[in-house]
Amino acid sequence: MASQDWFDKDFYKVLGVDKSVSAADLKKTYRKLARQYHPDSNPGDAKAEAKFKEISEAYSVLNDPEQREEYDQIRAMGSGARFSAPGAGGGGGFDDVFSRFGQQRGGGQAPGGFEDIFSMFDQGGGGFGSGRFGQTTGGFRGFGGPQRGADVTARTTIDFVTAAKGETITLQGEDNVPFKVKIPAGVSDGQKIRLRGRGRKSPDGGESGDIVVTVAVRPHPVFTRDGLNLRVTVPVTFTEAALGATIEVPTLGGDPVRLRVAPGTPSGRVLRVKGRGIESTKGAGDLLAEVQVAVPSHLDDAAREALERFQELQPKENPRADLMSKAR
């Protein structure tokens, strides 16, 4: 992130914490906000998604001790300062100035103070027009400084149960060296997992890039996901639906649960089992069992005669009357 962005954004205010907040309290606050604004908890809500990105950005900086120290130093200089980005004349930008000031990434205090900020314009016999930009000298970031290593992308396909429960898996790196990836419980299809600092090394002593793993999840033959909820379609017979019954319903990786189907239950009614969905750091979802009345495709003579007698005895109501009325 550019230092100018750090001037413009108050990450402490974004997270609603004091500047002296401890790492533990910072993490606790972030988790609470992340659960509140996560896209899975607010489907289709663009404002919640933007807020989630904002708090994630703030936490990523403040949770890193080095970045937090650098951020505090830059913010302490005052938000009124502005520097233009490099232009046709080869001028240095905002980062060029402040990457020379204060604490360096590698540890240790940069020599001097404000004198060093302004004296650097005369270095190399030409300052801004000296052609120093773009050189890989191992100098300061943004002014001929080290560049970050490239990210490495990878893909893996896991089964539905592994995605739900979480697991540590081993993948083969681009250099044929295996590396481990912790799959968090509740990972969704298409989600990306970032392994910081595990990508390609910087060519001139800067930070290493990341490994970004995209996860694909195989479909389950029985269950589907609805956020943190699990959905399953449960067939019941006509008599079970009409007269009521207690049925068994499967759970993901556990023992079946017994549910009561009330008399007169129609197809499409959903029976909920609390806490038997996907478990993750954001909480646990529910198991949603949708009832589907199974109509027999073959009847023997005795069953057919019984149904015909039932047809004669059942109330003379047209179940489509309301539908036809509303359609007019």
**Kind of pairing between the strands at 287-294 and 270-273:** antiparallel
Q: Answer yes or no: do 125 and 10 share one domain.
A: yes
Q: Which of 114, 129, 144 is the last residue of a domain?
A: 129
Task: Find the CATH number of the domain harbouring 77.
Answer: 1.10.287.110
Who contacts 7 (Cβ-Cβ below 8 Å, separation ≥6)? Answer: 74, 75, 79, 81, 94
**Kind of pairing between the strands at 211-217 and 192-195:** antiparallel
Does a structural domain hold residue 142?
no
Q: How far is CA 280 from CA 40, 63, 180, in A?
A: 12, 21, 20
Dihedral angle sign, alpha carbons of residues 215, 148, 198, 5? negative
Which residue reads 């590698």 in tokens? 106
Who contacts 60 (Cβ-Cβ below 8 Å, separation ≥6)? Answer: 67
Does a structural domain hold residue 177?
yes
- The rounded distance, in Å, linking the Cα atoms of 126 and 328 is 83
Look at residue 193 and give its three-state secondary structure: strand
Domain count, the chain: 3
**pTM for the full predicted model:** 0.51
Q: Answer yes or no: do 231 and 307 share one domain.
A: yes
Residues of the domain holding 318: 224-327
- The rounded distance, in Å, linking the Cα atoms of 122 and 54 is 39
Q: Answer yes or no: do 28 and 123 share one domain.
A: yes
Which residue reads 């969905």 in tokens? 277
Does a structural domain hold residue 144?
no
Q: Answer yes or no: do 156 and 211 share one domain.
A: yes
Which residue reads 């198991």 in tokens? 287
One digit per residue, the tens of pLDDT, for the chain of length 328 reads 444 567 678 899 999 999 999 999 999 999 899 889 888 788 888 898 889 888 988 898 899 888 888 888 877 765 444 443 344 444 444 444 444 444 444 444 444 444 444 444 444 444 333 333 333 333 344 445 688 889 999 999 999 999 999 999 999 887 778 889 999 999 999 999 999 998 888 888 888 999 999 999 999 999 999 999 999 999 999 999 999 999 999 999 889 999 999 999 999 999 999 999 998 888 899 999 999 999 888 889 998 999 889 888 888 888 888 888 889 8
Does a structural domain hold residue 135?
no
Q: Answer yes or no: do 244 and 305 share one domain.
A: yes
